[in-house]
Structure 1
Amino acid sequence: MKRLYEDPPGLVPVAYLPVGDLAEALRDAGGWRARAIVCLSFLARVRLAPLYVLAVVVIGLVLDHAVSPQTELQVVLANSSNVANLRQHRIWTLFTSAFLLDGEVRPFVMVQLLLLLSVAEVLWGWRRLLEVFFLSNAVASCLVYGLLLAGVRANRIEDAITVASDVGTSYGTHAVAGALAFTLPVRARRFLVPLALGVALVPLLSDATFTDVGHLLATLLGFLAGWQMRRRPLAGRLRRPAPLRAGRTAAYSFADVAQARAALTTVLRLQERLRLRLDDAVVAWSDGARRTHLRETREMSAIDGACAGACWGVVLGTFAGLPLIGLVVGAAGAAAVAHWHDAGLRDSTVDATVRALPAGRGVLLLLGDLGDLGDPAGQPALAGALTEIGGTPVPGVVEGAGVPDSR
């Protein structure tokens, strides 16, 4: 099956924005009081951010006031993600270093951290916040380790740098800020993306340290994470395609591609509200030459695989003391797997569904637990929302059923 990924002429690309229902609720709210109530209702979702900030504050206060300076220094150095520790395969420091501060606890900084992480958790949920913050902290630390190790081996950097302290929340904070900038609407993104990049670049123009380099790398990782959230909101682990059986698959046809993509946004909103669970969602259409075009939300392209493989490769390569080689091998291997792997809805099923419809019509194909989780008797929320947009159910989208009925 030939798959093309460009948008048809005249179609403005529509990217998924996490928790778009918050923006809709704020638009519908009348006055500042109503908007404040909406914001407070969404803040009830915050769980991870205050717990993490509380842990950092408590550990910092204990080290500052309950132990001797010598003990505090030993704890910091033992949990620092520096060259000496990572060279000795103390991989746990990639995690524990994010809970320690190299200095006193400053209330203003902690409040800023709490606000930033709380906003991210409201927009993404605690799982995505956990992945972005701690995975970016680990990857940035490994990249800095690889650069420093290469510099030491080339006699360009002094050996004293190998035991320098490298702890704190800054790598994860820069990554979350970068990802937030990329997941917000275009108008805010035009201002916040350059701002986040400038905050990381300005220190490099003066007395740059390896920590400043780490901040820039973490910011770029955050940009990458935000970009992936918008392009592949259902992306996850590479695994075998889920079985296509009745009750787990559905397809709706629309007058044009724009309607189908608007329907995709609606379906993703229903998942955010826990009305259904999606494994995959694909918008597809065919042109006058009967070529099939796709916009996928889960299956990884070669570029997506290379980005993910590079991140995991540099972390796993740190185990062997070869982080930069791990980065290259991981990127190449994951790109190859992603290119050949068919995850989620099968390409043959998508192609058969599109070819059974007139050219130019858009179709939205879904895979997952599609029944209303509050009403197991059927799919009232899904069917009602898509019918209102102009969708028409396409029957027969089940593996082994042949070409779907186009009526």
Structure 2
Amino acid sequence: MPASYLPGGDLADALGAAAGWTAKTKACLLFLARVRVAPLYVLTLIVINVVLNHAVSAETRSQIVLANSTNVDNLQHHRIWTLVTSAFVLDERVGVGAMIPLLLLLSVAEVLWGWRRLLVVFFLSNAVASCLVYGLLLVGVQGNWLGGAVTMASDVGTSYGSHAVGGALALTLPVRARRLLVPLAVVVVVVPLLNGASFTDIGHLLAVLLGFVAGWQMRRRPLAGSGLRLTPRRPDRTVAYSFGDVTQARAALLTALRLHEHGQAHLDDAVAACSDRADRIHMRDTRDMSAIDGAVAGGAWGVLLGTVVSIPLSGLVVGAVGCAMVARWHDAGLSDTTVERTMRTLPTGRGALLLLADPAGEPALTSALARTGGTPVPEVAREQAAAAQPDREGT
């Protein structure tokens, strides 16, 4: 259904409110001051590279590179740690200046997504791409299509993770930028394949595709995983707002997500819904997984777990199918029943926005959504109070 949510909306708001290039530059610098993980990772990479190039012998350096490579030999012998450590070791002597593009790429991603999403996209995509390449090489060696020497090849560096971050960035930027950057990202990894592909080139293609999937998921399910919190809060409360049509409900959803991103409200789920003339209800959930979402997540974790027992491609299939089935029947956050019951109380054609929110942020939500044409739906509050009444009586 509706428009996708753009990660980095708070930066877009700040730039939109800034008048003139000086104010826009100041806004960008304020957001760049939030960057922490990207420079720390690049600095760590530089230090390790300098030590390997100048503090140890060439033979020792080669041994360290091979010991941390995500090649067939290491993964077959269950050296799973290489899926992480390979991203901290470089196979070539790289100057400090060559790290600047990587720093800029990761810094932009951290500003738009936050450090948690950056770490997930970079390291998870690096690991999954490595496992997929391992699976393909394993099949090639067992089928005698590839020579045995490939099992000991060095495969380290930042390329898989950086290609994934680039692909995810291309898909999370505004539409005009996506129209240029997405095809460009595909061309960059496809052209080397036309000139005689190596397994690293195939890994780059897989990493970019994984980045596309990550960017697509960030736009579709911005509240995924928001139920994980470090500090206790008051129990969430379900609130609903009615709108004249679905367009207003979609705009209100973006407004609510912006308040969540700015910290003015905390949402654990948000659902925009509308009903058509045939009395069918259409929903857009920002947290719950569809079967496709489950297949994507299950496939990623399946290939990682399958690598532990040397069956990565089988793990991919089993994980994708299993999680797709679970996601198809599992209903997280706001239940479909609650959404449908709320929509039945509204006239046909009206839109609604249902939120599972921290009560402390409800005044800010009501005030902001009123400016987009939203009016609270009292039936939801009455139902929630009635559902809580037996609990109070029992105590």
TM bracket, shorter-chain basis: over 0.9
Deviation, 1:400, is 5.7
Cα distance in 2, alignment partners of residues 238 and 47 from structure 1: 24
**What is the aligned counterpart of 1:392 among 375, 386, 395?**
375
Task: Show the counterpart of 1:347.
Answer: 336
Cα distance in 2, alignment partners of residues 82 and 274 from structure 1: 43
Deviation, 1:278, is 1.3
Deviation, 1:237, is 8.8
In structure 2, relative to structure 1, the CA distance for the partners of 1:301 and 1:396 (3 Å cut) is: same
Q: Is 1:309 matched up with 2:288? A: no
**What is the aligned counterpart of 1:266 among 255, 261, 269?**
255
Task: Show the counterpart of 1:189.
Answer: 178
Task: Show the counterpart of 2:11.
Answer: 22
Identity %: 67
Q: Is 1:332 matched up with 2:332? A: no
Q: Is 1:160 matched up with 2:143? A: no
| Number of residue-to-residue matches in the alignment | 381
Is the 1:305–1:331 Cα contact (8 Å) retained in structure 2? Answer: yes
Cα distance in 2, alignment partners of residues 246 and 388 from structure 1: 27
Task: Show the counterpart of 2:391.
Answer: none
Deviation, 1:277, is 1.7
In structure 2, relative to structure 1, the CA distance for the partners of 1:391 and 1:237 (3 Å cut) is: closer
Is the 1:286–1:293 Cα contact (8 Å) retained in structure 2? Answer: yes
Q: Which structure shows the higher helix fraction?
A: 2
Task: Show the counterpart of 1:85.
Answer: 74
Is the 1:247–1:371 Cα contact (8 Å) retained in structure 2? Answer: no
Deviation, 1:284, is 0.8
Is the 1:278–1:367 Cα contact (8 Å) retained in structure 2? Answer: yes
* Secondary structure of residue in 1 paired with 2:214: helix
Deviation, 1:202, is 1.2
Is the 2:342–2:379 Cα contact (8 Å) retained in structure 1? Answer: no
**What is the aligned counterpart of 1:232 among 202, 221, 232?**
221
Is the 1:283–1:295 Cα contact (8 Å) retained in structure 2? Answer: yes
Q: Is 1:67 matched up with 2:56? A: yes
Cα distance in 2, alignment partners of residues 256 and 193 from structure 1: 33
Task: Show the counterpart of 2:390.
Answer: none
Is the 2:226–2:268 Cα contact (8 Å) retained in structure 1? Answer: no
Cα distance in 2, alignment partners of residues 83 and 171 from structure 1: 17
**What is the aligned counterpart of 2:366 among 356, 374, 383?**
383
Cα distance in 2, alignment partners of residues 196 and 174 from structure 1: 9
**What is the aligned counterpart of 1:122 among 108, 111, 118?**
111
1:146-295 counterparts in 2 under 5 A?
Answer: 146-236=135-225, 248-295=237-284
Question: TM-score, with normalisation over the residues of structure 1?
Answer: 0.91
Deviation, 1:24, is 2.7
**What is the aligned counterpart of 2:312 among 315, 323, 326?**
323
* Secondary structure of residue in 2 paired with 1:105: coil
1:41-52 counterparts in 2 under 5 A?
Answer: 41-52=30-41
Is the 1:264–1:281 Cα contact (8 Å) retained in structure 2? Answer: yes
Cα distance in 2, alignment partners of residues 236 and 31 from structure 1: 37
Deviation, 1:347, is 1.1
Structure 1, unpaired ranges of 5+: 1-6, 8-12, 240-244, 373-378
Cα distance in 1, alignment partners of residues 269 and 339 from structure 2: 12
Task: Show the counterpart of 1:369.
Answer: 358
Name the aligned partner's letter for residue 89 of structure 2.
Answer: L
Superimposed CA distance per residue, residues 166-197 of structure 1 (whole angstroms, 9 cap, x where no aligned partner): 00000000000000000011100000001111
Superimposed CA distance per residue, residues 228-264 of structure 1 (whole angstroms, 9 cap, x where no aligned partner): 111111123999xxxxx97521111111111111111
Deviation, 1:105, is 2.4
In structure 2, relative to structure 1, the CA distance for the partners of 1:29 and 1:310 (3 Å cut) is: same
* Secondary structure of residue in 2 paired with 1:397: helix
Task: Show the counterpart of 2:393.
Answer: none
Superimposed CA distance per residue, residues 317-359 of structure 1 (whole angstroms, 9 cap, x where no aligned partner): 0011000000000000000000000111011111100000111
Q: Is 1:110 matched up with 2:99? A: yes
Is the 1:76–1:102 Cα contact (8 Å) retained in structure 2? Answer: yes
Cα distance in 2, alignment partners of residues 109 and 397 from structure 1: 57
* Secondary structure of residue in 2 paired with 1:280: strand
Is the 1:83–1:163 Cα contact (8 Å) retained in structure 2? Answer: yes
Name the aligned partner's letter for residue 68 of structure 1.
Answer: S
Name the aligned partner's letter for residue 100 of structure 1.
Answer: V
Cα distance in 2, alignment partners of residues 126 and 287 from structure 1: 40
**What is the aligned counterpart of 1:143 among 112, 132, 137?**
132
Name the aligned partner's letter for residue 210 of structure 2.
Answer: L
Superimposed CA distance per residue, residues 77-134 of structure 1 (whole angstroms, 9 cap, x where no aligned partner): 1111110000001111000000010011222320000000000000000000010000
Cα distance in 2, alignment partners of residues 43 and 92 from structure 1: 32
Structure 2, unpaired ranges of 5+: 229-233, 388-395
Superimposed CA distance per residue, residues 15-63 of structure 1 (whole angstroms, 9 cap, x where no aligned partner): 1001223123223322221111010011122111011101101000011
Cα distance in 1, alignment partners of residues 359 and 64 from structure 2: 50
Cα distance in 1, alignment partners of residues 166 and 236 from structure 2: 40
Cα distance in 1, alignment partners of residues 81 and 259 from structure 2: 38
Name the aligned partner's letter for residue 67 of structure 1.
Answer: V
Is the 1:302–1:335 Cα contact (8 Å) retained in structure 2? Answer: yes
In structure 2, relative to structure 1, the CA distance for the partners of 1:179 and 1:256 (3 Å cut) is: same
